[in-house]
Copies of this chain bind each other. A is one copy, B any other.
């Protein structure tokens, strides 16, 4: 095959020679398979919103032609992205950009489930924004979001009720710049997952998240919002959510009541 031009730009006079993809330093050769390069190009297109969440990307044959590689190579690149939940393959229909809306699983990142799995699961959550304002990032928030202390962030607090029982209290912080224009009303009025709103209104797609769990006791205000006393142990869930390229876009601190729900996790 050819190790030539794979960038979106016209070929930069190849002909020269040398093995593919050297690191800048005189270090190891750092061999990079073709399909990884294709994967990076696809990632770039996703990031630049060439294809938007929910839309179909070009067929494997088209992509193979565009990048001048075989279908199998494109296929492997797409397999990788599909494994990471960035793309969704649907036989006979095409390959689609994953989205937080229109997914029959409402909350993709929420692991809290009712203890006794009621027949049809559980009714939808009732959400209520308790607070929403712009302020300057504390050191802790700045660290989580890779900002500088004092940069503008948007903070919101909300309560989620299941079967009319307040179950989750969440404080969340968003970087001010990408979420310019987000208001309490917009958050309150939107029906559907919050991440779907971020996707459609701000072009910010959450791809993965890291959570840190602890058992804690609530302070008086938190206890009141969850209708428990301050001696009730709660599950503290600290989350940083990332977009493409590991850029943090949300810091969230949740308090979960676990008297009728539990956090489900799978170890593989």
Contacts and interface: CB of A to CB of B under 8 A. Distances in A.
Contacts of A216: 215, 233, 258
Interface stretch (A39-47, A61-69, A144-152, A260-268): A260-268
Contact of A262 (B213, B217, B258, B265): B213
Contacts of A212: 262-265
A215 B258 contact: yes
Contacts of A239: 267
Contacts of A236: 215
A233 B210 CA distance: 22
A210 B72 CA distance: 35
Interface residues of A, number: 32
A268 B216 CA distance: 25
Contact of A85 (B108, B235, B265, B268): B268
Given A215-B216, A267-B211, A231 B234 contact: no
Interface of A: 83-85, 108-109, 111, 208-217, 231, 233-236, 238-239, 256, 258, 262-268
